[in-house]
Structure 1
Amino acid sequence: MAIYFHEEDLPEGALGEGSIAVDTETMGLITHRDRLCVVQLSDGSGNEHLVRFGPNSSYDAPNLKAVLGDPNRLKLFHYARFDLAAIEHYLGVTAAPVFCTKIASKLTRTYTDRHGLKMLVEELLGESLSKVQQSSDWGGPVLNDAQRDYAASDVRFLHRLQAELVKRLEREGRMEIAQACFDFLPTRARLDLAGWPDRDIFSHE
């Protein structure tokens, strides 16, 4: 297993074929204000790739955009709604089709309200995941080893989690509704970017 660090773009051919796990690190939680700093990717082979963008980046990353925008590659996220908005806003790419492990967890693990990545990894895979660096300064001039390992760990387990959650969705007869949710996620992210982050437009209000 290795972590590969890249500046401003993903090298061509860095990832194998098939689905890819994706995550992002930003300066904060307000997409328009808090710039995209890192995009993490894994093809499930055991290696992770981190693409870092500087404060004056043009986000001209043709190889990364090609991978994220490939309609034939499933993108695995945990809480895809946030990452999709950041990717669309800064990179101009709709990263679909999508599988979101957080949504899948909420549809299957109805016995709990704990759907964070750390909990999923511990319960479903029996692995430990540190979240110490979650609130790091991702925009600094150097990412230390702890930050790099944290960022990589956010995509390290997503392929295995997806496989387990698909089994549970099928077992509970909820695969169809889950897929409908996944298909809607890019639109949900666009609604966030357009100014409807908190209001339920389907409600009677």
Structure 2
Amino acid sequence: MAVYFHEEDLPAGVLAPGAVAVDTETMGLVTHRDRLCVVQISDGNGDEHLVRFAPGSAYHAPNLTAVLADPARIKIYHFARFDLAAIEHYLGVEAGPVFCTKIASKLTRTYTDRHGLKNLIQELLGQDISKQQQSSDWGGAVLSDAQRDYAASDVRFLHRLMAILQDRLAREGRTATAQACFDFLPTRARLDIAGWADKDIFSHEG
């Protein structure tokens, strides 16, 4: 298992076919304001790839965007809504089809309100990850070893989580409901980008 670091794009041919786990690191939580700094991606076979974008980047990453836009590859996220918005806004592609472990958790782990990635990994896989670097500065000239390890851990377990959560969705008869939610996520992300991030357009209120 290794963590590979790349500048501005993913090298060609480093990922095996099939689903990929994806995550992003940004300067904050406001997509228009807080630039995309890192995209993490893994094919689930033990290696993680980190693609870092410098300040002022043109976000021209043809190899990475080809993978993200590939309709034959499922993209596994934890809280896909945020990552889809960042990827579409900065890299210009819809990074689907989607499986979101956070939504799948909320549809199956109804016995708890703890749906963070750390909680999922602890319960379902019996492992522990550190979230200490979550709010660190991802825009610096150098990423620390701790930042690289943190970023890699955010995609390291997603394939295994997806397999478990797919079984639970099937067991509870909620696979179709989950898929409908996943299919809507790119639209939900576009609504966020367009200014409806804090509005529930399905609500009776307003």
Counterparts of 1:27-176 in structure 2, within 5 Å, are 27-176=27-176
Superposition RMSD in Å? 0.4
After superposition, what is the alpha-carbon deviation per residue over 1:84-116, rounded to whole angstroms, capped at 9, x for unaligned? 000000000000100000000000000110000
- Which residue pairs with 1:21 in the alignment? 21
Provide the C-alpha distance between the structure 2 equivalents of 1:76 and 1:191, rounded to a whole number of angstroms.
21
Alignment-mate amino acid for residue 202 of structure 1: F
Q: What is the Cα deviation at residue 69 of structure 1?
A: 0.3
Q: Structure 1 residue runs of 4+, over 4 Å off? A: none
Aligned amino acid, residue 150 of structure 1: Y
**Which amino acid letter does the alignment assign opposite residue 151 of structure 2?**
A
Distance of 1:145 and 1:197 partners within structure 2: 33
Per-residue CA distance 1:143-166 (angstroms, 9 max, x = gap): 011100000000000000000000
CA distance in 2, matches of 1:28, 1:204: 31
Q: Which amino acid aligns with 1:194?
A: A
SS in 2 for 1:133: coil
Alignment length (residue pairs): 205
Give unmatched runs, 5+ long, in structure 1.
none
Partner SS, residue 166 of structure 1 = helix
* Post-superposition CA distance 1:28-58 (Å, at most 9, x none): 0000000000000000000000000000100
**1: distance between equivalents of 2:105 and 2:67?**
26
The 5-angstrom pairing of residues 171-190 of structure 1 reads: 171-190=171-190
Q: In 2, distance between residues paired with 1:192 and 1:161?
A: 26
TM-score (norm 2): 0.99
* Distance (Å, rounded) in 2 between the aligned partners of 1:146 and 1:91: 26
Identity %: 79
Distance 1:98 1:129 in 2: 24
